[in-house]
Amino acid sequence: MSNTSILERRFPGRRAQLKRDILLQALQCFNTHGLEATTIDMIKARCDTSVGAIYHHFGNKDGLVAALFLAALEDQQQLMQQYLEQADSLREGIAALVYSYVDWVEAQPDWARFQYQAHSSVSKGPHGAELARRNAERGKQVAQWLEQREQGAALRDWPAELRASLIIGQSENYCRSWLSGRAGTPPSAYRELLAEAAWRSVSG
Amino acid sequence: MSNTSILERRFPGRRAQLKRDILLQALQCFNTHGLEATTIDMIKARCDTSVGAIYHHFGNKDGLVAALFLAALEDQQQLMQQYLEQADSLREGIAALVYSYVDWVEAQPDWARFQYQAHSSVSKGPHGAELARRNAERGKQVAQWLEQREQGAALRDWPAELRASLIIGQSENYCRSWLSGRAGTPPSAYRELLAEAAWRSVSG
Amino acid sequence: MSNTSILERRFPGRRAQLKRDILLQALQCFNTHGLEATTIDMIKARCDTSVGAIYHHFGNKDGLVAALFLAALEDQQQLMQQYLEQADSLREGIAALVYSYVDWVEAQPDWARFQYQAHSSVSKGPHGAELARRNAERGKQVAQWLEQREQGAALRDWPAELRASLIIGQSENYCRSWLSGRAGTPPSAYRELLAEAAWRSVSG
Amino acid sequence: MSNTSILERRFPGRRAQLKRDILLQALQCFNTHGLEATTIDMIKARCDTSVGAIYHHFGNKDGLVAALFLAALEDQQQLMQQYLEQADSLREGIAALVYSYVDWVEAQPDWARFQYQAHSSVSKGPHGAELARRNAERGKQVAQWLEQREQGAALRDWPAELRASLIIGQSENYCRSWLSGRAGTPPSAYRELLAEAAWRSVSG
DNA sequence: GATGAATGAGCATTCATTCAT
DNA sequence: CATGAATGAATGCTCATTCAT
């Protein structure tokens, strides 16, 4: 799946061609040089467009970062939804969370890299509130899903604050390693191991 | 434990007073405004010194970042050593890794915050090689420690690449949450839970 | 008298509605933000029209400024004519000049503010020649009027260059004060005083 | 008296050489092209210095304008003080105000031109408060001087708001004409006439 | 060693104007 | 006639770094 699929889903149509291209080239620049080191001129040059066009579509550099970040977030969450819908038991739910995380990072490594990189910038910026809201909403959805399956015994009595870390922490840590090149084996090779570790961490 | 203790240990003596002060103020600036947004002049103003003095002591801005990063890294690894030395069984070793991580972040939140923030910058910069070397070395040390206790059966046959993620991933994830303010409960409150989760993830 | 009356007189009819609206909103923008700080987009936004429409009607930004300036100038001179026509003696003529100046500024403060502000810009620009011509013409008219009443004795032998300053200088100075908010009392409250001062300055 | 005398008085010493030069060239640029049309690069080129040096000394473009404006204001007020100190009667005081105004404009035409031009910009900007304070103070001083000589009868009972306009309005109007080239005769040629007109306007 | 004035390449952003639809 | 996306030259300003004193 190429980097453009996310964009075509989010900004469809022929008229948005330039918009998609700007985002795509910006993604590459940000990942290659870093957020601050990327200049508007670098992006402009790669799109063969004008500075004005970039500002016309995205307002400013932060707007560009935010647009990319939210596109990535939405795509990632969509995959999580899909996986979760197909899970029946609690254990399958935990696995769905781990699998969707790992699979998405592997399918969209550039977007994932960007997400890690831009997270603090976006959360401090003017779109930070929206990001927080979306994260809270997703957390609540997942919590509801889990509780509906808990059926009495099930999930150990972990503090709610800790749950997400227990489930996804190990996967995230490994994905960061892989994206940075420190680890060589693609995360999906360890899907089951990671899902099992998460399940053991979380279940009695 | 205040932010200065790390500095006093690493740069002792009265003559290093200014050096320590520059590092301390730089740490605050970097955490408050971000790496790139912090200017030499901001640091200068907080230390009541001159630009020249900063360049005299640290060469350039990257030198300042590297000095802070390595000081933090060393302090963190030292605590890990201490905890590990007192562990006897394999299980205690895993707990030592988790406890030392969690305790250090909680004792030195400003240094931890800085570490997360500066990691990619340092690893890409001229000190990246040294950082990689140190990490590899530490990884080997820990691996040796673990294998000496493995006594045949013990640790499940996880791929080596995955080990660190399984042990520390959950703790790191929660520490990031806490440092950013998303989670309210100090990580040490969950020491045992996190250690137990790590053990279960890793052991048969 | 509202700001629109000048426009309705100069650009009458339903078809000129948009034209009048653009001018009106431009006037407000120029007075609020200054000539240079006002952007075409600001005006566009206030009129709920398009950039293209503004360029269609006025050519460019300078054209907008010139159109406003000339409209103001014409309106002001028209009032002066009216007042002057009703004056019989020399003294009444001087008073007519003062009264018309003061009354116009007070009736059209936004237009007056704009006039002071735009004067140097217009006189340097491509419409500067026309402005100079109009001013010279008006000067000549007034001079003729005065000389027709001089009947021998009358006006002190002031140099012609000085006449306008002696008659209108004090009023202008006070009107500027009032428009800027430094002085609180409306200029018309001082009509007679100002006219008397002008007369004393000018007459033997 | 050249344009530099004001600067040498206000920024004396060899070390301030560059500072004075920047101000001097800025003055010329502002008068030639206007406040907004003058770019930092234009000034830089005329001084053969660097952008950085200008920002080092004056903070930003507004700082440059304010420094020039306040230098001019102080110089002008100093001359007024001198003239006023040598006046004995009320009539001589009025004349001193007129003479000092007219003589200063003629001696420092570039500074006067700049003052007219920059007035609204400075009064709206961050130094506006200081400007207002200085003007109020000067107004009070002059008022005191006048009242000390009033000795009962003297000055007609003009509203205080109007006084400054009556005294200086005509001179200002003519000085503007002369500076803009519309009038050819230097203002000092009309000193006595303007002083007499002011006296007549103001006295019974 | 300490100081801070000076440097100047580099950047984000603006905005009048054009022109294809 | 109207629209608004696209253009791109121009500008104010920043800031790491140097170096004369």
What residues of chain A have any CB closer than 8 angstroms to a CB in chain B?
34, 36, 117, 120, 123, 158-159, 161-162, 164-166, 168-174, 177, 180, 183-185, 190, 193-194, 197-198, 200-202
Q: What is the mean pLDDT of residues C138-151?
A: 84
Find the distance separating the first CA and the last CA of chain C, reported in whole Å: 38
Going by pLDDT thresholds of 50, 70 and 90, the confidence category of residue D195 is very high
- Which element (helix H / strand E) includes A74? helix A61-85
The pLDDT of residue C127 is 87
C195, C95 Cβ separation under 8 angstroms: yes
Residue A74: exposure state from Cβ atoms within 10 A (0-12, 13-18, ≥19): middle
**Is any atom of strand F within 7 angstroms of residue B149's beta carbon?**
no
Which of A26-30, A200-204, C139-143 has the lowest average pLDDT? A200-204
B116, B179 Cβ separation under 8 angstroms: yes
pTM: 0.88
The pLDDT of residue C153 is 54
The pLDDT of residue C154 is 62
The spacing between the Cα labelled CA in D55 and the C1' in F19, in angstroms, equals: 19
Q: Pick from A170, A183, A198: which is nearest to B161 by CB? A: A183
User: Residue A9 pLDDT more than 80?
Assistant: yes
Tell me D16's DSSP state. T
Express each pLDDT in C67-96 by its tens digit.
999 999 999 999 999 999 999 889 999 999
Measure CA A81 to chain center. 13
Each domain of chain B, given as residue ranges in start order, spans: 60-202
Nearest protein residue by Cα to C1' of nucleotide E10: A39
| CA dihedral over D28, D32, D34, D37, signed as positive or negative | negative
The pLDDT of residue C174 is 98
User: Residue B153 pLDDT more than 70?
Assistant: no
The pLDDT of residue B158 is 79
Going by pLDDT thresholds of 50, 70 and 90, the confidence category of residue B4 is confident
Q: What is the mean pLDDT of residues C156-174?
A: 91
The spacing between the Cα labelled CA in C40 and the C1' in E15, in angstroms, equals: 8
Residue type, D3: N
The pLDDT of residue D130 is 87
Helix A90-107 vs helix A128-150: angle between axes, to the nearest 10 degrees? 150
Q: CA C115, CA C133: separation in Å to the nearest integer?
A: 17
Average pLDDT, chain B: 91
C191, C102 Cβ separation under 8 angstroms: yes
User: Cα distance from C98 to chain D (closest Cα, Å)?
Assistant: 13
**Protein footprint of strand E, defined by Cβ closer than 7 Å to any strand atom:** A 38-41, 51-52, 55, 60-62; B 18, 49-53, 55-57; C 37-41, 51-52, 55, 60-62; D 18, 49-53, 55-57
Average pLDDT, chain A: 91
Q: CA C131, CA B114: separation in Å to the nearest integer?
A: 65
Express each pLDDT in B11-60 by its tens digit.
988 888 899 999 999 999 999 999 999 999 999 999 999 999 999 999 99
User: Residue D136 pLDDT more than 80?
Assistant: yes
The pLDDT of residue D22 is 94
φ, ψ for residue A108 (rounded to 5)?
A: -125, 60
- Enter the tokens of residue B149: 């206790």
Bigger pLDDT: B1 or D48?
A: D48
Query: Do A162 and B172 make contact, defined as CB atoms within 8 angstroms?
Result: no
User: Residue C2 pLDDT more than 80?
Assistant: no
Q: CA D41, CA D69: separation in Å to the nearest integer?
A: 20
> Least CA distance to B37: which residue of chain A?
A36
Express each pLDDT in A54-80 by its tens digit.
999 999 999 999 999 999 999 999 999
- Enter the tokens of residue D192: 């006595």
Q: CA D57, CA D61: separation in Å to the nearest integer?
A: 11
Q: Residues of B152-166 as b/e, b for ≥16 C-beta within 10 angstroms?
A: eeebeebeebbbbbb
Express each pLDDT in C108-130 by its tens digit.
999 999 999 999 999 988 888 88
The pLDDT of residue D12 is 82
Residue D53: exposure state from Cβ atoms within 10 A (0-12, 13-18, ≥19): middle
Q: What is the mean pLDDT of residues D119-140?
A: 90
- Which element (helix H / strand E) includes C123? helix C109-124
CB neighbours (10 Å) of residue D134? 15
Looking at chain D, which subunits does it touch, using at least 3 CB pairs closer than 8 Å as the criterion?
A: C
Residue C44: exposure state from Cβ atoms within 10 A (0-12, 13-18, ≥19): middle
Q: CA D98, CA D174: separation in Å to the nearest integer?
A: 12
Tell me C142's DSSP state. H
Going by pLDDT thresholds of 50, 70 and 90, the confidence category of residue B156 is low
Q: What separation in angstroms does the CA of D146 have from each of A110, A144, C128?
A: 79, 84, 42
Express each pLDDT in B71-120 by its tens digit.
999 999 999 999 999 998 999 999 999 999 999 999 999 999 999 999 99
> Least CA distance to B161: which residue of chain A?
A183
Q: What is the mean pLDDT of residues A117-146?
A: 89
Residue type, A102: V
Q: What is the mean pLDDT of residues D100-112?
A: 97
Domain B60-202 = CATH 1.10.357.10: yes
The spacing between the Cα labelled CA in B55 and the C1' in F17, in angstroms, equals: 9
User: Residue D204 pLDDT more than 80?
Assistant: no
Bigger pLDDT: A154 or C190?
A: C190
